[in-house]
Structure 1
Amino acid sequence: MTTMMISKQDIIEYINNNYPDIHLELNSFKNNIIDELLNIFNIISINQNDFQLKSQRYFIETVVDELSEKYKIFYERQYKLNELLKLKLPEQRSPEWHLLRQNILTASSFAAAMDKCHFRSRDELIYSKIIPEPYESNPITEWGVKYEEIATLFYQSITGTVIKEFGMIPHPTFPIFGASPDGICDDTGPMEFCSRMLEIKCPPKRKFTKSVPPHYMMQMQGQLEVCDLDECDFLQVKLEEYDTLLDYKNDIFDSSEPYKSINEEYDNIINGKTKENLPKGVTISYVKEGDASHNLSYLYPKLYQTHEQYLEWIDEYIKKGYNIVETKWWKITRYELSLVHRDKLWWNDHIEHIIKFYNDYIEYKSNPDKLNELKAQINNKKKKKKNEIFIPAKLPPCAFIE
């Protein structure tokens, strides 16, 4: 009688096929599962000594325990996801959304509130929350708005997930703090992705780094705390726009090359990919009826289509009478995906600093004279910084003065 070799995948498939409705009670059926598998794979035989038999039992038991723990985590995350989906939240960039952001510290401003942001000081943040500046789009922010959806579609394609969007979420018990995550994975994809948060950056100029920049790490820790979640994928995507449609057509994925960069299912896709095995496609920029001419909205087709399919898609919107400003053919040239874990101790160390920031904000808001002093202080710092000329104390050996 031949003894069959059992694998981890065999054990998982057997449990999923024969115990599909008792995932949370797997440990109660552990001995049954072990005995059944030992018999099915003919492990109990005259060819198995006591050491072998005990080792096989140990192997099956560890897989059952691991799977049981995975299901436990999955159902906990699924519950948290469903609770978040029940929240009544203001729509992104709506007047209610802006008002909520104005009265609390948000995760995206966390680094500035701690005076650890390169782009805005703590004082400037306080002043802007009291005297809001009108929102003015610039090429860098508009690029991010335009291509965030492409990055989301790409993420979904390489992870097998579906992203749910959320507006501004206030902290349930710490009302002076809130967050607007780019998205959260639902429960229809791989188990390990359930309720995993997604934070996207599409920098047009900033150099990519393998590590997560500190100010973005602070943002994600704040987001995870607000949503009571454990993980966030930090996705950086570099995109470029083709000069012409011909350039787009000539950038073709060679399916004969043995690409194994993402996953097998992805690598089997041929259409809508560059020679670097990364997505390419097209977007439509248009102006909604009643909007100002500079206030652009965007349309996105599915990924991985032929250029003929994309041209047909564009033609459909032309026929519908959309006020199309331009179409842009784009490609992803690089991406970095980093998994960030929640750090509860780090957050706890920053709570008092958040409260201090909020107290200062309230004090300036209720005292116009102090607010004017703050404004003068900000202006003086800007003027001083503008007039500063850096003169090194000692020139490096390779420096020459003509």
Structure 2
Amino acid sequence: MYYNLNFDYEDLEEMDGSSLIKSNNENYDDDYNENVLNDIIEVILSLIYDYVKENPSLLSCYDIDEIIIDEIYEMVDIILEDIKYDNYVLFLDYEKYIEEHELIDFSFDLYNSMFSVKHSHIDNELESESNKNNFVIEVDFKMDSNFVNKMEAHIDYLRSKPQPEQRTNNWYKFRHNLLTASNAHKAFGTQSAQNSLICEKCQPLKQIDPENPEIVKSVNINSPLHHGQKYEPLSVMLYEAKYNTTVEDFGCIQHDNYNFIGASPDGINIKQNSPLFGRMLEIKNVVSRVINGIPKKEYWIQMQLQMEVCDLDYCDFLETKFVEYESENDYKLDNINTKGVILYFSNGTPVPHYLYQPLGLNEEESEKWIEEHIENVEENMTWIKTIYWKLDTYSCILVERNRSWFDNNIVQLGNIWNIILNERVEGHAHRLPQKKATKKDAELEIELEIQKETQKQTSIEGFCLLKK
């Protein structure tokens, strides 16, 4: 496939290093040089186009540029070995720019300008102890009355979408019959990851007691999962305060056209006079992982599906790392601005209950708040301890909806869902992880084989005796 390029030949002269258009052979004029160069660029553009088309899931990779450029370099290196021009010396002039990636980089930038293949991260804010600049990440569009009215109507529509009451049997059944954004990334992973997703959705649903829907056997309050759940409300509080906005929870929403896909966004900005109005929010609270401002592939896929389900175009990916103080004294001695208090209560069940102190209180106001809420606790609640926290790292990046990625990958999601429906009937045992054989298992298997051989030999000898 070739492109009818209206290529600005002079643009190449702006590239770093020597000009790509100057030939060492004076027998060829600039027009000839231009034709040769355009031939090479068209070959590279064609390779990029085909590679992206054949690998649509690449759009979920943050380093898509590097992946494509490395792959194309190898292809170009092989193809150009067979290309013979009238003047081989002229070709060598361009070959060195291919080896140095300059020509491929230029072609890739040109491809992006025509097809917009770039990964959909737009802007980044990473705040830590060494970087405390406060600024709002904005998208370049006008908040006119027409946009506000349309967005408000769309948000009202999302609110009106039917969904069962949370934590009921119908709610669990509803979610069981969906590939949710949080786990659908497995559909694009290894065979083992796909098996995990299929098995998860093929497992029979456990019924809960309607009178005690929240009763669970145990909760590991030290697990990373619980840490994320504990600090998610605090992340929302910080986000709302930082950007002067309001975030609303919308529960689990089903896709309008693909009824096997659903999403539970952490929230949507609903404040009409905010530049973030209509933007989704996805939160991750890390324990030990280093926050670098780059979403993991599974998180990017999760956000793409959330935006697709809700039919919204932007999502803030918020990562926060909170650290807990060893003591109240350590908390008071630390002069950091972003810190606070969480009260931990129990009602006799394994599920902890947390109360979050409002942000921005001074020391006197904080102590008064703690005292009042411990003294006036509900009758069925018991105060367990006071948790003192500080914000270690804050990262917020804006991720844009990539419709092309979804259009190219919905087939895979549909294939996985059809397998799930089939194996709910036919069985999925063959996808379960195989138990790893231990030394003891091997010894037992050998012993059983010996017993079988002994029994077999005894039977043969007995038969021979009877025959005599």
TM-score by length of 2: 0.57
Distance 1:90 1:205 in 2: 36
What residue identity is the alignment partner of 2:434? N
Matched, 1:99 2:173: yes
Paired residue secondary structure (2:268): strand
Structure with bigger RCO (C-alpha 8 Å, 6+ apart):
2
Offset at residue 67 of structure 1 (A)? 8.2
Q: 1:318 aligns with which of 357, 369, 374?
A: 374
Distance 1:95 1:147, change over 3 A: farther
- Structure 1 partner of 2:42: none
> Does 2:211 match 1:128?
no
In the TM superposition, what whole-angstrom CA distance separates every residue of 1:82-124 from its partner, at most 9, and x where no partner exists?
211223433454443322111110000121122269xx72111
Provide the C-alpha distance between the structure 1 equivalents of 2:288 and 2:437, rounded to a whole number of angstroms: 26
Aligned to 1:87: 161
Letter in 2 for 1:163: V
- Counterpart of 1:379 (choices 434, 440, 459) is 434
The percent identity for this pair of structures is: 31
Q: Does 1:115 align with 2:189?
A: yes
RMSD, aligned CA: 2.4
Give aligned pairs, total. Answer: 284
- Cα 1:304–1:113, aligned 2, differ >3 Å: closer, same or farther? same
Amino acid at match of 1:327: T
Matches within 5 A, 1:292-371: 292=349, 294-321=350-377, 322-368=381-427, 371=428
Contact 2:148/2:272 (CA < 8 Å) preserved in 1? no
> Following TM superposition, by how much is the alpha carbon of 1:74 offset from its aligned partner in structure 2, in angstroms?
3.0
Shift of 1:316: 2.4
The one-letter code sitting in structure 2 at the alignment partner of 1:343 is: N
CA distance in 2, matches of 1:360, 1:251: 55
Are 2:263 and 1:179 equivalent residues in the alignment?
yes
Cα distance, 1:207 vs structure 2:
1.4
Change (3 A) 1:340 1:167: same
Contact 1:97 1:167 (8 Å CA) reproduced = no
Whole-Å separation in 2 of the counterparts to 1:106 and 1:343? 18
Given that 1:237 and 1:332 are in contact with CA atoms closer than 8 Å, whether structure 2 keeps it comes out as yes
Describe the superposition over 1:48-84 as per-residue Cα deviations: whole angstroms up to 9, x where unpaired. xxxxxxxxxxxxxxxxxx9877443333222211211
Task: Measure how far apart 1:241 and its partner are.
Answer: 0.3
3-state secondary structure, aligned to 2:292 = coil
In 1: Cα distance, 2:437 partner to 2:412 partner: 28
Matches within 5 A, 1:382-397: none
> 2:318 touches 2:394 (CA, 8 Å); kept in 1?
yes
* 2:291 and 2:393 in contact (8 A); partners too: no
Structure 2 counterpart of 1:179, which letter? A
2:103 matched to which residue of 1? none
Query: Does the CA-based 8 Å contact 2:187-2:416 persist in structure 1?
Result: yes
Residue 234 of structure 1 deviates from its aligned partner by 0.3
**Aligned letter for 2:271?**
D
Give the C-alpha shift of residue 133 in structure 1.
8.8
Say which of 241, 245, 254 aligns to 1:161.
245
Query: 2:373 is paired with a residue of what secondary structure?
Result: helix
* Unpaired segments ≥5 residues, structure 2: 1-139, 207-215, 439-468
- Please give the alpha-carbon distance, in whole angstroms, between the structure 2 residues aligned to 1:93 and 1:215: 26
Partner SS, residue 379 of structure 1? coil
Note the C-alpha offset of 1:354: 0.7
Change (3 A) 1:91 1:283: farther
Question: Structure 1's 327 and 193: CA in aligned 2 closer, same or farther, altered over 3 A?
Answer: same
Alpha-carbon separation, structure 1, partners of 2:204 and 2:187 = 16
Instruction: Note the residue ranges of structure 1 that are not aligned, 5 or more in a row.
Output: 1-65, 253-273, 385-402
- Cα offset, 1:315, TM superposition: 2.2
Shift of 1:208: 0.9
For 1:312 and 1:152, the matched residues in 2 are separated by 24
Distance verdict in 2 for CA 1:327–1:70, change over 3 Å: same
Maintained 8 Å contact 1:92/1:168 = no
1:72 paired residue among 146, 149, 158: 146
Normalized against structure 1, the TM-score is what? 0.66
8 A contact 2:263–2:309 mirrored in 1: yes
Counterpart amino acid of residue 397 in structure 2: S
Deviations 1:107-149 (A, max 9, x none): 00121122269xx721112112222698875410100010000
Q: Which secondary structure state, in structure 1, belongs to the residue aligned with residue 200 of structure 2?
A: helix
Structure 2 distance, partners of 1:79, 1:182, is: 20
Measure how far apart 1:172 and its partner are: 1.5
1:131-210 residue pairs with structure 2 within 5 A? 131=203, 137-138=219-220, 139-190=223-274, 192-210=275-293
Match of 1:214 in 2: 297
